[in-house]
Amino acid sequence: MKTLGKFQPKKNEKQFELNVKIKSNELRKQEESGQLVQPVLFVLLVLVSVLLYFAVSLMDPGFILSDRSDDLQFTLGVTEEQQDMIPPTTKSLRQRRCGHCLLQQPMRSKHCQTCQHCVRRYDHHCPWIENCVGERNHRWFVLYLAVQLLVLLWGLHIAWTGFGYAPSWQLWLRANGVLLTVAVLVALLSLIVLLLLGSHLYLVSLNTTTWEFMSRHRISYLKHCGADENPFDRGAAHNMWGFFCVWGSVVWEQVYFRAGSDQV
């Protein structure tokens, strides 16, 4: 009887391990049965995510490489009559020069200490992509976050369906320990990406940047505005449309001065 008592748990463990293997093989049932739609879509989504990562990392975020002061006054589009209506705090912005690269900075641009360049519509410097997020790659960065979130959530779902059952926690952890670690890591990454995507979409809907949101009190063209006042805000729908669907550089001086003129 003692021998039978010792043998029975080992038999149960072997039977449980066999069940886990059978369950693992069931995860590949679609592939083995020729149903390749979901596997191919998942692989394509991962490839798109990788391509977007390299695109955002290698893309020019909007570096200011030359001093085009001759057409700065033209892009401002401000007449002498309008200049009298502009508050005194905004007149000096037309002659703003970067203290590091000594180039004239268009409105909403900032010098990045890491990249050693001024960036148009500077949002932030992302260490994950080792590049700045600015005017030219910001929409692609948001798209990358959205695709990455889909990949992570899909991967979390695959990990969840791979868990097996066991009569005790010890056996369950022995069979699913590695998968549990991967699932927890993917869940944490999903939460981080979700928070990043949500915060960027929120700022985009307000037509503001991370830098402007965090350093509003130190920015010359915003510190004189009210706490809830944003001279670039044109409504959530218009802001989202302009961010995702309008290509090309925006002359933010015109938007800012027009808002300032309306207020006067």
Catalytic sites, residue numbers: 126
- Within 10 angstroms of residue 82's Cβ, the number of other Cβ atoms is 15
- 244: CB partners within 8 A, 6+ apart: 139
- 135: CB partners within 8 A, 6+ apart: 61, 62, 119, 120, 121, 249, 250
- By C-alpha distance, which of 191, 185, 197, 59 is closest to 129? 59
Q: Which two tokens stand for residue 76?
A: 């401002």
Q: Are strands 124-126 and 117-119 parallel, antiparallel or unpaired?
A: unpaired
Q: Rounded to the nearest 5°, which phi and psi values hold at 114?
A: -80, -45
Q: Are 110 and 122 in contact (CB under 8 A)?
A: yes
Q: Are 261 and 85 in contact (CB under 8 A)?
A: yes
- Within 10 angstroms of residue 122's Cβ, the number of other Cβ atoms is 24
Task: Provide DSSP, 197-258.
Answer: HHHHHHHHHTT--HHHHHSGGG-TTTTTS-TT--TT---HHHHHHHHHH--S---HHHHHHH
Residue type, 19: N
